């Protein structure tokens, strides 16, 4: 599960606008803004979070930690 802060951080690392993320994930800009405005694990459909996570991971983002134990993001090192 990803949290709102990870969504914001991942988008920032990639220098994506909400429109960029919407295009890559298929999730609407309004939904992305709503999810980013929340704290912790965002409400909403799990499919929406999976679509966002897939878009980020496909662009080199790695989600680390857990919602309760220091969640974060980093750019995946290409081997």
**pLDDT at res. 1:** 80
67 or 38, greater pLDDT:
38
pLDDT band at 77 (very low <50, low <70, confident <90, very high): confident
Structure tokens, 54: 């897939």
Say whether pLDDT at 79 is over 70. Answer: no
Instruction: Please give the CATH number for the structural domain made up of 4-69.
Output: 1.10.260.40
Does the predicted model carry a pTM greater than 0.85? yes
For tokens 């969504």, the residue is 7
């Amino acid at each position: 599960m990803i949290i709102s802060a990870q969504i914001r951080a991942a988008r920032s690392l990639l220098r994506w606008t909400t429109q960029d993320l919407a295009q890559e994930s298929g999730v609407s800009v309004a939904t992305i803004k709503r999810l980013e405005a929340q704290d912790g694990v965002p409400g909403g459909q799990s499919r929406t979070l999976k679509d966002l996570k897939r878009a980020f991971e496909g662009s080199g983002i790695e989600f680390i930690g857990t919602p309760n134990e220091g969640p974060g993001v980093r750019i995946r090192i290409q081997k």
